[in-house]
Structure 1
Amino acid sequence: MAISKYGPYGHPNGKIGKLVHYMLNGQPVTRLVGRRTKSSPAQLVNCQSMAVTMRFLNHQSVLRFINSGFELEARGTVKNQHNLATSYNKKFALKGEYPNLRMDYSKVLLSKGELSAPKDTKLIKTETGLELSWNPEMPDSWHHGDDIAMVLVYFPGTQEGISFLNASKRETGKHSIPLTGEFKDDPIEVYMCFKSADGKEISDSVYFGNLNGEADTPEEQRQKRKYVELKARFDQVSVAYWQNIEHNGGVVVETKAFRNLQTEYLALKAKLDNLPGKPS
């Protein structure tokens, strides 16, 4: 049932037959009701692309950053900050092949604007955390030393993050971020942009770099867990298998119990030889 607040000729809100009517950012929208069908290879790729992008962008710290980073870009359009960030990063910041698509963190964009972005950037891990530095010089008279640095530190392995929307001024040329021991050795991805003190300008975000290597994707983590579980079972069966042979003086005694044990041993060995997730 749909409700027509503005009379029979106004835009309804709800479902009528196979159509759904609703408002999106002040715009009346009508679409067909979705229907479940078998997904094509292209649809599977698209679904995972969206899932990987959403897993990153929907983290609270990333949302805070893009809500400020794409605010000016979204003004005057029917799109919001999240729409714009999703559209760009889903198209340009993914890598790999299905079903192992992952974020290409070096190509992620978290803010967009005309303000001069950080230059000559450097990222260093210290005993207490992170040290970010950049060239504090102004490229021209329109950009000032009181521009505000916005920083995002993201930990893809645990999908945690910290955002600093008022970190330092451009003129300081550096910013320190303390980190506890549990995070210092995890994979780390760092981003920064500048926003003018009056909030009327913002720069494109800049990728400061990665520390501690690349994190595994959820699929890779699943494969490693599966390998560990299978390897543990193989080790148990392997001990029983060779103990049985040794107990009989190295001679294979073709009993039903031994044949079952041998079948499982050989099947597990073949799986381990071809299973992804094996330690490198």
Structure 2
Amino acid sequence: MAICKVGPFGHPSGKIGNMVFYMLNGQPVCRSKGKPGKPSLKQLANRQAMAVAMDLLKPMKDFINVSFKRESEGSVKNPHNLATSYNKKQALTGDYPNITIDYSKVILSKGTLEMAADLKVSKGTDGLNLSWNSSIAENGVEDDILMVAVSHPTKKRASLFLNAAKRGDGSCFVPLDREWMMTAQMEVYVCLKSANEQLISDSAYVGNVNGLPESSLEKAEKEHYKVIKARFDQVATEYEHKKMDYAEGVIETKAFRYLEKEYQVLKEKLKHLPGKPS
């Protein structure tokens, strides 16, 4: 049963039939309730896109709550809603069921504050070294604060530094205290905020550290290459052993020719087969 607190023409609160009415961030919302039917291809694609975006953004919640705080104020969206919306539109690539993240297009903040130029990252012994051009061309001050987000996608985690350095410093060191962090994939992002957090810059992608992990396709190709290579090595050994006997007429011609044919086919196949060790 639903209740209309402000009369028959107001927004109800509760259940009417298979519809549920409630307030969300000051906005009246209505959704259906019940067992859904078989999802369409578009629905499946949207679900995967949402899951991929959430895997990226969920570990960076504290960063996003600051970076999208000003933009979310006065709207029905919270900072995480904004981040999800931006990245579902801009940072996803591929089609269902192979939707992935284009890390260079990830958006973690939007604003008018000038972003630093010439951003660079390098790996140290137990952390990352960041550097940037501290000069100011349009707006901003030396006391603007650098925020750093280091995404660890393979672990579904992130290392966040909300007050890493000042714009005027021109460089900083970001400590990473877990051994696996220094070897796993890292994607590095920064933005600048004013000291009073009233202004923020667009986020910037600094780069990848430790490369990308192998995809499921690449792993399958490598395994397939190993199987073919093992068979080729077996055939090649037998072929080389019997080649001299064939030349001397000791073995039957037909059997040897079958062996020779397989040897040649496998040898040619290995030349063009993906998955070959680099």
Report TM bin, short chain: 0.7 to 0.9
1:88 partner SS? helix
Partner of 1:68: 66
Match of residue 212, structure 1, among 197, 210, 213:
210
1:167 partner SS? strand
CA shift, 1:195, in A, is: 0.2
Structure number with greater Rg is 2
Match of residue 86, structure 2, among 79, 85, 88:
88
CA shift, 1:54, in A, is: 1.1
Partner of 1:12: 12
Aligned length: 228
Question: Is 1:168 matched up with 2:177?
Answer: no
1:163 partner SS? strand
1:121 partner SS? strand
In structure 2, distance between residues paired with 1:209 and 1:186:
14
In structure 1, distance between residues paired with 2:158 and 2:88:
20
CA shift, 1:279, in A, is: 8.8
- Report percent identity of matched pairs: 50
Partner of 2:141: 144
8 Å contact 2:164–2:174 — kept in the other structure? no
8 Å contact 2:56–2:151 — kept in the other structure? no
In structure 2, distance between residues paired with 1:137 and 1:157:
35
- Which stretch has the larger CA shift, 32-41 or 186-195? 32-41
Report the residue type matching 2:206 in the other structure.
F
Question: Is 1:102 matched up with 2:100?
Answer: yes
CA shift, 1:139, in A, is: 1.3
Alpha-carbon displacement from aligned partner over 1:63-114 (angstroms, at most 9, x marks no partner): 1111111111112222111111111101110122322211111100001100
Alpha-carbon displacement from aligned partner over 1:134-167 (angstroms, at most 9, x marks no partner): 1001113x41000000000111111121111111
Which runs of 5 or more residues in structure 1 are unaligned? 232-277
In structure 1, distance between residues paired with 2:219 and 2:118:
38
Which runs of 5 or more residues in structure 2 are unaligned? 227-274
In structure 2, distance between residues paired with 1:161 and 1:7:
49
How do residues 39-58 of structure 1 correspond to structure 2 at under 5 angstroms? Answer: 39-58=39-58
CA shift, 1:5, in A, is: 4.0
2:96 partner SS? coil
In structure 1, distance between residues paired with 2:198 and 2:213:
36
In structure 2, distance between residues paired with 1:121 and 1:176:
13
How do residues 151-190 of structure 1 correspond to structure 2 at under 5 angstroms? Answer: 151-179=148-176, 180-190=178-188
Match of residue 192, structure 2, among 191, 194, 199:
194
In structure 1, distance between residues paired with 2:213 and 2:84:
21
In structure 2, distance between residues paired with 1:214 and 1:76:
39
Partner of 1:249: none
TM-score, structure 2 length as denominator? 0.74
8 Å contact 1:156–1:215 — kept in the other structure? no
2:172 partner SS? strand
Match of residue 113, structure 1, among 107, 111, 114:
111
8 Å contact 2:52–2:100 — kept in the other structure? yes
Superposed CA RMSD: 2.7
In structure 2, distance between residues paired with 1:102 and 1:216:
13
8 Å contact 1:125–1:131 — kept in the other structure? yes
Change (3 A) 1:188 1:5: same
Change (3 A) 1:96 1:138: same
In structure 1, distance between residues paired with 2:149 and 2:276:
31
